[in-house]
Chain A
Amino acid sequence: MYRIVSAIFLAENIKKFEIEAPRIAKKRKAGQFVIIRIEQNGERIPLTIADSDPEKGTITIIAQGAGKSTRELNRKEAGDSIADVVGPLGTPSHIEHFGTAVSIGGGVGTAIAYPTAAALKEAGNYVITINGARSKDLVILEEEMKAVSDEAYITTDDGSYGFHGFVTQKLQELIDSGKKIDFVLAIGPIPMMRAVAEVTRPYGIKTVVSLNPIMIDGTGMCGGCRVTVGNEIKFGCIDGPEFDAHQVDFKNLADRNRIYHHEEKEADEAFAHRCNLTGKA
């Protein structure tokens, strides 16, 4: 069992946890993730390691309630334990001194982008962060992002905070302003990552996205996480999760991620129903 040391909501439905996992805390690098199981018979779900404290032996994960398992996780409190935490999985982000690097996060993708943005800063890049949310109350990690950015922007779809519009519009604005951008990292919903790839493609800006295929083992055994990159099969958990945005077949990823939608919805609804009955949601 892995003990939760702290648990706080960053926004509605998005919760940050510090969990005791000393080996992982010591080992993990930016861009890597863990797979957790909340309890026996639970699903294995991948979550990015947002931060770690090797001294305390803890890792930080930030989860958005997307379905049954993540919602169940978000009901856990400090002092509770979860059954399994395995990692760090995936190939770490490729970090180098690119020059000017833009880190783009959409929704909970901001949490996934954060460790890599921090590593880019550490490597001496001029870091610009653009983090998008639907509205002001869903903005997360604003202070943390500022601390690792030379320029930090927030966009909201409804204009309730920061730049009114999508992250891609802000990115286009930066490019149009004549700023030389050497590297872009984009993490968020699939349509957002695909849109960012299309913005940077004509300029030949090296762009990396972090993909979220469905995973089970995370060790390269099941093949569930396969994605199409440059017309080749790649395994998200071993070769990724980060890939060259200009090579990724986003449509295929979006299609394949829908395979269990019906079952997921059923499970989520049943879970919500149970919560209503017990009044604990």
Chain B
Amino acid sequence: MDARKITAKERMAIPRQEMPAQDPQVRIGNFQEVHLGLTPELAQMEALRCIQCKDPVCIAGCPVNIKIDQFIKLIAEGDFMGAVRKVKEDNVLPSICGRVCPQEDQCEKVCVIGKKHEPVAIGNLERFVGDYERLSGQRIDPVLAPPTGKKVAVVGSGPAGLSCANDLAQFGHKVVIFEALHELGGVLMYGIPEFRLPKEIVREELDGLRRMGIEFRTDVVVGRTITVDELMEEEGFDAVFIGVGAGLPWFMGIPGENLVGVLAANEFLTRVNLMKAYDFMKSSDTPVFDCKGKSVAVFGGGNTAMDAVRTAKRLGAEHAYIVYRRSEAEMPAREEEIHHAQKEGIEFMLQTIPLEFVGDDKAWLTGVQCQKMALGEPDDSGRRRPVPVPGSEFLLPIDMAIISIGNGSNPLIKQTTPDIEVSKKETIVVDVNTMQTSKENVYAGGDIVTGGATVILAMGAGRTAAAAINEKLAGTAQNFSEW
């Protein structure tokens, strides 16, 4: 079909193009990516569905305002590299965001096509663009401004830190990223599993940053190995960006939570993703709970919960349950992941709360006592709150319980840099326009500011901070030249 000649009606008649995926029965036996990506033909067909709105509401729905209509048009015209350039004006990690953004709550939620039909698959197209660049071997490395002689330290190598570093380097500043773990990438590496975000993609993005001259220092826990003050006073950094992410997983505070076999989702996922425990005794020395033939329950309804339960299934769990206190519609996880989980045979126990974990005489977990919930009378706010149904208690026999109800904030920076103001929840307080903290020349963004949020919000925060840091440093540079 010719992109220029097609009528609006014809566009509307094209169905949303399905992205090819591994068969559910096959994929639960491996850790390879579920989706296989759009072919150029499918991508062009999908791109034709976009009616090129005069007022593209999707752009406002995107947290970093990617010029969605324009990049989609370039795909429709077959100018894939043009589309790559267009997306990268606003988002440097399209391969990643195309895979993990909650598009159904952002751009695709507001897409006008979605009013009558399925919205344009903006996320899938973004992913196509990112993958096209990678796989075509024509990676576009950004043009760097001449060196400014300024040095910025970025703490944490998650999406917030990486996007901040990318922009700072483009502005011509010297950037050094300090990361606590032995591996870079933050949640992209240790949290989100391979079957959703292949680690090779993250590694290639990191290589791109290295080519820009950004330096990485792993095994440095800022606050312990070196403090923020020392970075500025002793190591000569002109500014510091803090992107240390969320920390301290929450537990539920119910009896039996200390039994052997009850663990936080972060521990389970870190063992499997970062330490590659699925390959224990082969390439990895780190063990993980042996799920084969066992019953595993994950408590929670977010992305982390879905990742944990689907990982347990892939490790051979016979029963892999999601136990969530509200209904499916309220689950914070990406819609697609919920659907994938259902197809993979994950058993959903909705409107259910755990009351108590029970164990044997060796303190090993054997089950969880649960109760059903129903929607009660509307409260003052008019919202119907879940209330326990009397007499609905039941015992679910399980061998492992994974708690995935969210995270608090990591206290390390706060403890060692008391002049950075934190909220009651211990998140770092910033001016949202600049991401500047209460401490001069120190900026922060991502989950450490918002609490657990999304990759794209973290990236957006990193870019806002980079722009503000650049302005600040340019200001001081000017002062010097006036001298």
Residues of A with Cβ closer than 8 Å to B?
Answer: 23-24, 27, 37, 41-44, 68-69, 83-89, 216-224, 226, 228, 233, 235, 238, 249, 251-252, 255-256, 258-260, 262-264, 266-267, 270
B419 on the A face (CB < 8 A): no
Q: Which of B206-252 contact A (CB under 8 A)?
A: 218-221, 224-226, 245, 247-249, 251
Q: B290 CB to closest chain A CB, in angstroms?
A: 7
B412 contacts A219, CB within 8 Å? Answer: yes
Instruction: Given contact pairs A86-B182, A262-B290, A263-B281, enumerate 6 new A-B contacts (beta carbons under 8 Å).
Output: A27-B226, A44-B275, A216-B270, A216-B275, A233-B251, A249-B258
Q: Is the interface of A mostly helix, strand, loop or mixed?
A: mixed
Given contacts A41-B276, A83-B182, A238-B412, contact A222 B221 (CB under 8 A): no
Interfacial chain B residues near A43, Cβ < 8 Å: 275, 285-286
A219 contacts B226, CB within 8 Å? Answer: no
Given contacts A220-B411, A259-B289, contact A24 B225 (CB under 8 A): yes
B261 on the A face (CB < 8 A): yes
Given contacts A220-B410, A224-B264, contact A27 B182 (CB under 8 A): no
Given contacts A222-B267, A256-B258, A256-B260, contact A86 B219 (CB under 8 A): yes
Interfacial chain A residues near B224, Cβ < 8 Å: 27, 87-89
Contact of A84 among B218, B225, B274 (CB under 8 A): B218
B412 contacts A220, CB within 8 Å? Answer: yes
A216 contacts B267, CB within 8 Å? Answer: yes
Given contacts A43-B286, A86-B219, A224-B264, contact A217 B181 (CB under 8 A): yes
Q: A79 CB to closest chain B CB, in angstroms?
A: 21
B280 contacts A263, CB within 8 Å? Answer: yes
Interfacial chain A residues near B51, Cβ < 8 Å: none
Q: A90 CB to closest chain B CB, in angstroms?
A: 8
Nearest 5 pairs of A and B residues by beta carbon: A223-B264, A263-B287, A255-B363, A86-B219, A223-B249
Bound CA–CA A42/B183 (angstroms): 12
Interfacial chain B residues near A84, Cβ < 8 Å: 182, 218-219
Contact of B281 among A27, A44, A267 (CB under 8 A): A267
A-B contact pairs, 14 of them (CB 8 A): A23-B220, A27-B225, A41-B276, A84-B218, A86-B221, A216-B267, A217-B181, A218-B221, A223-B248, A223-B249, A226-B251, A259-B260, A259-B289, A267-B285
Interfacial chain B residues near A218, Cβ < 8 Å: 221
Query: Considering only CB atoms, which chain B residue lies closest to A263 in the complex?
Result: B287
A221 contacts B260, CB within 8 Å? Answer: no
Q: Is the interface of B mostly helix, strand, loop or mixed?
A: loop
Interfacial chain B residues near A263, Cβ < 8 Å: 280-281, 287, 290
B182 contacts A219, CB within 8 Å? Answer: no
* Residue with the highest number of chain A CB atoms closer than 10 Å, among B182, B270, B275: B182
Contact of A68 among B258, B260, B263, B285 (CB under 8 A): B285
Interfacial chain A residues near B363, Cβ < 8 Å: 251-252, 255-256
Contact of B285 among A24, A42, A85 (CB under 8 A): A42
B221 contacts A223, CB within 8 Å? Answer: no
Bound CA–CA A235/B249 (angstroms): 10
Interfacial chain A residues near B276, Cβ < 8 Å: 41
Q: B143 CB to closest chain A CB, in angstroms?
A: 34
Residues of B with Cβ closer than 8 Å to A?
Answer: 180-182, 218-221, 224-226, 245, 247-249, 251, 258-261, 263-264, 266-267, 270-271, 274-276, 280-281, 283-287, 289-290, 362-363, 410-412
Contact of B247 among A44, A88, A220, A267 (CB under 8 A): A220
Bound CA–CA A79/B107 (angstroms): 56
Given contacts A220-B247, A221-B247, contact A267 B266 (CB under 8 A): no
Query: Considering only CB atoms, which chain A residue lies closest to B257 in the complex?
Result: A233
A216 contacts B225, CB within 8 Å? Answer: no
Q: A274 CB to closest chain B CB, in angstroms?
A: 11
A260 contacts B287, CB within 8 Å? Answer: yes
Interfacial chain B residues near A216, Cβ < 8 Å: 267, 270-271, 274-275, 286
Bound CA–CA A71/B411 (angstroms): 34
Interfacial chain B residues near A23, Cβ < 8 Å: 220, 225-226
Q: B271 CB to closest chain A CB, in angstroms?
A: 7
Interfacial chain A residues near B249, Cβ < 8 Å: 221-223
Interfacial chain A residues near B220, Cβ < 8 Å: 23, 86
A223 contacts B263, CB within 8 Å? Answer: yes
Q: B259 CB to closest chain A CB, in angstroms?
A: 8
B281 contacts A219, CB within 8 Å? Answer: no
Interfacial chain B residues near A69, Cβ < 8 Å: 285
Bound CA–CA A151/B225 (angstroms): 35
* Residue with the highest number of chain B CB atoms closer than 10 Å, among A83, A226, A262: A226
B263 contacts A41, CB within 8 Å? Answer: no
Interfacial chain A residues near B261, Cβ < 8 Å: 259
Q: B39 CB to closest chain A CB, in angstroms?
A: 35
B221 contacts A87, CB within 8 Å? Answer: yes
Given contacts A43-B275, A86-B180, A238-B412, contact A219 B286 (CB under 8 A): no
Q: B450 CB to closest chain A CB, in angstroms?
A: 17
Interfacial chain B residues near A264, Cβ < 8 Å: 287
A86 contacts B225, CB within 8 Å? Answer: yes
Bound CA–CA A84/B286 (angstroms): 15
Q: A74 CB to closest chain B CB, in angstroms?
A: 15
Q: B383 CB to closest chain A CB, in angstroms?
A: 30
Bound CA–CA A224/B248 (angstroms): 10
Interfacial chain A residues near B287, Cβ < 8 Å: 260, 263-264, 267
* Residue with the highest number of chain B CB atoms closer than 10 Å, among A219, A259, A266, A270: A219
Interfacial chain B residues near A88, Cβ < 8 Å: 224-225
Interfacial chain B residues near A222, Cβ < 8 Å: 249, 264, 266-267, 270
Bound CA–CA A154/B284 (angstroms): 40
Contact of B283 among A41, A224, A266 (CB under 8 A): A41
Bound CA–CA A83/B181 (angstroms): 12
A87 contacts B410, CB within 8 Å? Answer: no
Bound CA–CA A138/B362 (angstroms): 31
A224 contacts B263, CB within 8 Å? Answer: yes
Interfacial chain A residues near B411, Cβ < 8 Å: 220, 238
Interfacial chain A residues near B270, Cβ < 8 Å: 216-217, 221-222
Bound CA–CA A86/B182 (angstroms): 8
Bound CA–CA A27/B259 (angstroms): 36
Query: Considering only CB atoms, which chain A residue lies closest to B362 in the complex?
Result: A255
